[in-house]
Amino acid sequence: MKSHYRVVVIGGGIVGSSVLYHLTRHGWNDVALIERAELTAGSTWHAAAGFHALNDDPNIAALQGYTIRLYEEIERESGQSVGMHMTGGVSLAASDERWQMLKAERAMYETMEMQTTLVSPEEIRAMCPLVDPIGLKGGLFDAHEGYVDAHGTTHAFAIAARKRGAEIILRNRVLELQQRADGSWDLITEKGNINALHVVNAAGLWARRVGRMVGVELPVVPMSHHYLVTDDVPLLASLEREFVSVTDLEGFTYLQPLGKGAVLGVYERNPQHWSPDGAAWDYGMDLLPPDVERILPELEIGYARFPALAEVGIKRWVNGAFTFTPDGNPLVGPVPGKRNYWVACGCMGGFSQGGAIGLTLAQWMIHGDPGHDIFGMDVARYGAFAAQENYLRDMTRQFYARRFVISYPNEELPAGRPLKTSTVHDRLAADGARFGVSWGMETPQFFAPQRDDFIENLTVRRSNAHEFVGDEVRATRTAAGMFDASTYARYEVSGPGAEAWLDRLLSSRLPAEGRVRLAPMLGHGGKLMGDLTVSRLAADRFWLIGSYYLQEWHGRWFRDLLPKNGVTLKNLSDSWSGFALSGPLSRDIVQPLLGRDLANAAFPFLSCAEVDLGFSKAVLARLSLTGELGYEIYVPAPAQPALCDALMQHGRGLGLRHIGNRALDSLRLEKSFGIWSTEFTQSITPGMCGLDRHVAFDKADFIGRDGVLRERDAPSSRVLVTLAIDAAPGKTQDADPSGFEPVKLDGRLVGYTTSGAYGHWVRQSLALAYVDREVVADPPPLTVDVVGEAHPACILERPAWDARSERMRG
């Protein structure tokens, strides 16, 4: 053990070992891993070590694919067997809805260029003779599933890392972490002190405790998990190959081969947390006592689906613990506000994701960029709220219990709510709002006025709320609609250095005083980091508006780049709030509240000003996401109810009404407007999505400039388009795209949708999609798979509504 390393990884489970390996593979060799006990001594040694590439998040699916492909390589490199069994895997559907869902999933995986196959009950039985096919509709087969040996795989990473120069220090607990003024860390360990520039918390079951060593509360908590191993099953005795792994989605169980027996694992609906603060420091490689009573309902379904298991005994019960985060994805990356402190924890699928986490973290540490869009695993996708005890317990419980339950695109889950409500929440509820949630904030999805009894049906097709959304869209196009802008993030940037800092941070030119601009913010490589609007309220004072749920993510980026002096950054997201109001009558509604003239000549499109509403000061900007004449009005949050009442007092008689997210989606798609997380993400370049028209290529210096200049010379292969989608032949149209549906030309994949909605005003099903550039030049007839069925589609050359944007500017 040396006294100094560039990086120390705390924890020698599958994740820490992979991080160590990837650091060395990408060129950093002055690195060490410190393990409290032996390698695998946390969750890792219990694992059934099954793996699969499929995941709802295409970026995570791609990374899981990387993990699986890596196994052969590390086996070769280390000389240590990983115990690979590439059995293939099949997910079962025992209901029409599930079958429909699997068809849609197959199409989604096709967009990720992952080939899965729909199989019949007979084919399933041939793949796994243990399955009783009664009641099955079919299944989804993926050849890239199987299992490895947990011990061998972890050691293969460790041996390969050691061969590349890494050091592994066993039986040495890290007791404390102390940061020096230069940002490096002193690790106080059982065997002495070490200094390291970077520390990685890969402490698995102990991750929360290792977070607390630096004053960080990580949203991660251990839960218990059971599987059983059967004796040899006679039915398998004559089988020449291993059976295909099976996930019984309706049964909450999974089945893997093990010799001539089987492993049956359970995701029970009544899950249990274990040691919420993290495992005790002296927790050994022990099993928890099996709690058969609790998992009995799922076991009964499992034994009914795999009846041959009942004929043999149970060799071994495994009840162990592993960690969960509120959404089940790991926590990876630099912890906001803690210099040189990184996490790679909260991983519930170490054998699908371990390699990917190692790759991501190593690239991030060494090159300053994770290399992919990994927002779904980024520790900064959460704020402090996520680690609150009740929230964390409710969310993780919900995630675990619903692991195999169908999720619908229009479903809003109940756990951890309400956590935050805007100051107008009760007014919106009184008008019939049905809420969803964004970063803990209740946000209206649609309004069912005077229909307290209305319950939306859960469906992948158009729901019974379709016409409520239509009413909101029509009201906005003919009168005005207002959206509670509590789920926008607001930042104030001020001071003598504000202009220079923002000029470098944002790729667009900065607006003049009293003006607003859409300002793409780029990462160092030239891909998107944000689609902010920037309003210049004074020479040295700006407001930035972005997505509410990106506050921690953007905050980390801002803070990393903020100069020491001359710029003050304030996050006003919760202290200020307001409405985005738009529609042809919106000027008539806002004008009476103000002393100043809102006529087009006096306050044209993209103007902003600080104004006095009489009852409150306010920031007013002329902007619109709907394509109609529109204003965003922000006031201190306690004044939002008064603003709501004043707008309604002037507007209700003119047809003003509240609108929700669904109406906004319909309205923005009619205008071909993209938004963050669907069209705009950190894997997209400005040239792909059309935001390059806001980039000031001639500016001498801004972050990402080299990347966008390169792209200007060599355009990306895919571009964003709007698609009009029609009914499938012989069918009535009752569904719209929701994202990640394949776009095809003569059956060949040429792109994928990012979001979709019914354009209630233009009466057309619409989608935004990235498609191959050559397809756009001379648009041919295309198809889009919607709920697994091919629908005719065509590229719209201009937005479906008001292509010249006259209404917005009028």
Residues binding ligand FAD (CB under 6 A): 10-16, 34-37, 41-44, 46-51, 173-174, 202-206, 210, 225, 227, 318, 320-322, 345, 347-352
Alpha-carbon gap, residue 707 to 710, rounded angstroms: 5
Per-residue CA distances from 571 to 487, 489, 491, 544, 568 (Å) = 13, 8, 5, 10, 10
- The residue written with tokens 């998990």 in the block is 225
Closer to ligand FAD at the Cβ: 210 or 437? Answer: 210
Tokens linked to 173: 């607990």
Report the candidate in 433, 507, 501 with the shortest Cα–Cα distance to residue 697.
507
Q: Do the beta carbons of residue 787 and residue 776 sit within 8 Å?
A: no
Compute the least distance from the CB of residue 17 to ligand FAD, in Å. Answer: 7
Rounded to the nearest 10 degrees, the angle between the axes of helix 14-25 and helix 150-163 is: 30
Closer to ligand FAD at the Cβ: 32 or 793? Answer: 32
Compute the least distance from the CB of residue 348 to ligand FAD, in Å. Answer: 5
DSSP string, 28-60: --SEEEE-SSSTTTTTGGG---EE----SSHHH
Report the candidate in 43, 129, 137, 127 with the shortest Cα–Cα distance to residue 87.
127
Alpha helices in 373-414 (DSSP H): 389-401
Q: What are residue 333's DSSP bridge partners?
A: 343
Closer to ligand FAD at the Cβ: 203 or 480? Answer: 203
Compute the least distance from the CB of residue 21 to ligand FAD, in Å. Answer: 12
Closer to ligand FAD at the Cβ: 47 or 140? Answer: 47
Alpha-carbon gap, residue 254 to 262, rounded angstroms: 10
Question: Residue 438: helix, strand or coil by DSSP?
Answer: strand
Compute the least distance from the CB of residue 41 to ligand FAD, in Å. Answer: 4
Closer to ligand FAD at the Cβ: 46 or 420? Answer: 46
Alpha-carbon gap, residue 627 to 664, rounded angstroms: 10
Compute the least distance from the CB of residue 148 to ligand FAD, in Å. Answer: 9
Compute the least distance from the CB of residue 25 to ligand FAD, in Å. Answer: 18
Closer to ligand FAD at the Cβ: 244 or 720? Answer: 244
Tokens linked to 465: 């709320």
Report CA 400 to chain centroid distance, whole Å.
17
Closer to ligand FAD at the Cβ: 258 or 794? Answer: 258
Closer to ligand FAD at the Cβ: 53 or 309? Answer: 53
Closer to ligand FAD at the Cβ: 278 or 799? Answer: 278
Q: What are residue 769's DSSP bridge partners?
A: 721, 753
Compute the least distance from the CB of residue 174 to ligand FAD, in Å. Answer: 4
Compute the least distance from the CB of residue 119 to ligand FAD, in Å. Answer: 22
The dihedral sign for the CA sequence 375, 550, 402, 117: negative
Closer to ligand FAD at the Cβ: 190 or 426? Answer: 190
CB proximity list for 750: less than 8 A, separation 6 or greater: 743, 744, 771, 772, 775, 782
Compute the least distance from the CB of residue 183 to ligand FAD, in Å. Answer: 21
Compute the least distance from the CB of residue 440 to ligand FAD, in Å. Answer: 26
Report the candidate in 535, 530, 553 with the shortest Cα–Cα distance to residue 689.
530
What DSSP designation does 559 have?
A: H
